Chains A and B, each alone.
Chain A
Amino acid sequence: METIPGMKYISALAVVLVMWGIVSWMVGSMLIPGPIDTFLRLGQEVRDPAFWKHVFTSFYRVIGGVACGFVTAVPLGLLLGANEKMDRWCSPLIYLSYPIPKIVFLPVFLLLFGLGDISKILLIALIIFFQLLLTTRDSARQIETEMIYSFNSLGGSRLHYFRHVVWPVSLPGIFTSLRVGTGIAVAVLFFVESIGTRRGLGFYIIDAWGVADYTGMFVGIIALSAIGVILYEIFDLLEKKVCQWKQI
């Protein structure tokens, strides 16, 4: 059945709003403000430049973190996936460090890189890094022997191999990882912004909570969620554009 584009999104959003309304009504709007109150307040906030400063700060921190994770993890993942020997050397190190909850290094990062943006961006990058590294490496490993022979028979160099085979083979996996990573990055963003900063939506939410402004708190939650949704959609659109062959 043909559906209007975006219809699914709108109906899912409607379900969430209705459920939110019901919970708010059951628990009481003092603790959980309903969607109408929250959106009215959001309407006021978007006219305040201070609110946009928080949004913008959170946005560049999360983008910066994902970008740093991407430019370090993806090349390394491609290299390890395509190079068995190197992978054998690095694997124990990765397996050892993968299960460590990197988020506990926040105090260390704050000590090393200060209270500014760098410590926050780097912690997001570190967490995204491991996830992207493993998925990229595993995607790059999928190349079948016949594919390698076929490529070699065409007389390409090692660099060509990465460009024409390893990179396109790994792209769908990289995009999946980026989409999953978006949720993680926004969660980490909230955590890093709740400590030692006066800017960003994490601070905005915690600050509103501290003064019992629960409607303000929900406005912050919605704005942070919107960042997550926008990033997710960007990666989704990019994948559809770049991996056209996968859609067929």
Chain B
Amino acid sequence: MDISPDLLDVEHLTQTYGNGAGDKTVLHNVTFSLSRHTSLALVGPSGCGKSTLLLIVSGLLQPSGGTVTLDNVIRTGPGRDVGVVFQQYGLFPWKTTRDNILLGARMQNIRVSEDTLTELVQELGIQGLGHLYPNQISGGQRQRVALARALLLDPKLLMLDEPFAALDAITREHLQNHLLSVFQRRRFSFILVTHNIEEAVFLGRRIAVMNSEQCGIQTIIDNPGMGRPEFREHPDFFRQVGIVRALLKDQ
């Protein structure tokens, strides 16, 4: 096998549900790659297979066909190399936020020093909440806890499934900025699934537009302006949003 310089190689990914005549294809022959320390935003209409693609790349769903290779190793299931953040936070309400963050490390018998935890918690602005349960903190704080949990084991790739969709506009913008600064400080790559075009343009170094008829990625566009909080106000930002919107409208 050729050694790929990319962090992630997704090749000929296909996902079909059911068997026989009533088959439903959700993904068909999806191929893309992702280099190190970069980001990809997946946008598309509901039901275009965005979340399915995210689950497969995360190792949480076995594809009907094709391969996902991370750092030249074919993935067969979830692992500490990939952290996942879900729309509804995916936190366990019966565990304190501290126990939620530490659960993955504990189950995998990985020792995490108190300093590492404190640093991460401070970086995400959730210090002092460790003893509280998820339903005692706000939606924005819950998503920060979920981010901390996903980042604790220093994953190479972070997968985010509509992470800010359940939050109000101001909190969402705040968290988008926060994700950007964490991303710039740490050395991971991330894939963001979103139906929000502005979010995709703000956070995706590349933007993959998905199409439900083709059951896959219609096109991937470059988004070199991404990376600064001020980008949101820049004319290039609005131009990119226009381009993505036009691509989605054409479908």
* Residues of chain A having any CB pair with chain B under 8 Å: 146-147, 149-157, 160, 164-165, 168-169, 171, 243-246, 248
Stretch binding the partner chain, chosen from B9-17, B85-93, B185-193, B210-218: B85-93
Contacts of B103 in A (CB 8 A): 154, 156, 164
**Considering the chains assembled together, what is the distance between the CA atoms of A246 and B87 in angstroms?**
22
**Considering the chains assembled together, what is the distance between the CA atoms of A153 and B85 in angstroms?**
9
Stretch binding the partner chain, chosen from B75-83, B119-127, B236-244: B75-83
The answer to whether B80 touches A248, judged by C-beta atoms less than 8 angstroms apart, is no
Does residue B64 face the partner (Cβ distance < 8 Å to A)?
Answer: no
Which residues of B41-69 have CB atoms within 8 Å of chain A's CB atoms?
55, 58-60
The answer to whether B86 touches A248, judged by C-beta atoms less than 8 angstroms apart, is no
**A150 and B107 contact, Cβ closer than 8 Å, known pairs A168-B92, A168-B94:** no
Contacts of B92 in A (CB 8 A): 147, 150-151, 164-165, 168
The answer to whether A146 touches B88, judged by C-beta atoms less than 8 angstroms apart, is yes
The answer to whether A152 touches B60, judged by C-beta atoms less than 8 angstroms apart, is yes
The answer to whether A147 touches B90, judged by C-beta atoms less than 8 angstroms apart, is yes
Q: Chain B CB within 10 Å — which of A147, A155, A160, A169 has the most?
A: A155
The answer to whether B60 touches A153, judged by C-beta atoms less than 8 angstroms apart, is yes
- The 27 listed contacts between A and B (C-beta, < 8 Å) are A146-B86, A149-B84, A149-B86, A150-B86, A150-B90, A150-B91, A150-B92, A151-B92, A153-B59, A153-B78, A153-B83, A153-B90, A154-B78, A154-B103, A154-B108, A155-B78, A155-B80, A155-B107, A155-B108, A156-B103, A156-B104, A160-B107, A164-B92, A171-B94, A246-B94, A248-B133, A248-B135
* Residues of chain B having any CB pair with chain A under 8 Å: 55, 58-60, 78-80, 82-84, 86-88, 90-95, 103-104, 107-108, 133, 135-136, 149-150
The answer to whether B93 touches A155, judged by C-beta atoms less than 8 angstroms apart, is no
Contacts of B136 in A (CB 8 A): 248
The answer to whether A245 touches B135, judged by C-beta atoms less than 8 angstroms apart, is yes
Interface of B is mostly: loop
List 9 extra interface pairs beyond A150-B90, A150-B91, A164-B95, CB under 8 A. Answer: A149-B58, A149-B84, A149-B90, A150-B86, A152-B60, A154-B107, A156-B107, A165-B92, A245-B95
Partner of B94, one of A151, A152, A160, A243: A243
The answer to whether A155 touches B84, judged by C-beta atoms less than 8 angstroms apart, is no
**Considering the chains assembled together, what is the distance between the CA atoms of A156 and B86 in angstroms?**
17
**Considering the chains assembled together, what is the distance between the CA atoms of A243 and B135 in angstroms?**
13
Q: Chain A CB within 10 Å — which of B60, B83, B150 has the most?
A: B60
Contacts of A171 in B (CB 8 A): 94
Contacts of B95 in A (CB 8 A): 164, 168, 245
Contacts of A160 in B (CB 8 A): 107
Contacts of B82 in A (CB 8 A): 153
The answer to whether A152 touches B90, judged by C-beta atoms less than 8 angstroms apart, is no
Look across to chain B and name the residue whose beta carbon is closest to the beta carbon of A167. Answer: B94
**Considering the chains assembled together, what is the distance between the CA atoms of A153 and B88 in angstroms?**
14
A150 to chain B, nearest CB (A): 3
A159 to chain B, nearest CB (A): 10
**Considering the chains assembled together, what is the distance between the CA atoms of A168 and B88 in angstroms?**
19
Look across to chain A and name the residue whose beta carbon is closest to the beta carbon of B104. Answer: A154
A164 to chain B, nearest CB (A): 7
A148 to chain B, nearest CB (A): 9
**Considering the chains assembled together, what is the distance between the CA atoms of A3 and B150 in angstroms?**
44
Look across to chain A and name the residue whose beta carbon is closest to the beta carbon of B87. Answer: A146
B62 to chain A, nearest CB (A): 12
The 4 closest A-B pairs by CB, nearest first: A150-B90, A154-B104, A153-B84, A168-B94
Contacts of A156 in B (CB 8 A): 103-104, 107-108
A103 to chain B, nearest CB (A): 36
**Considering the chains assembled together, what is the distance between the CA atoms of A155 and B58 in angstroms?**
11
Look across to chain A and name the residue whose beta carbon is closest to the beta carbon of B55. Answer: A149
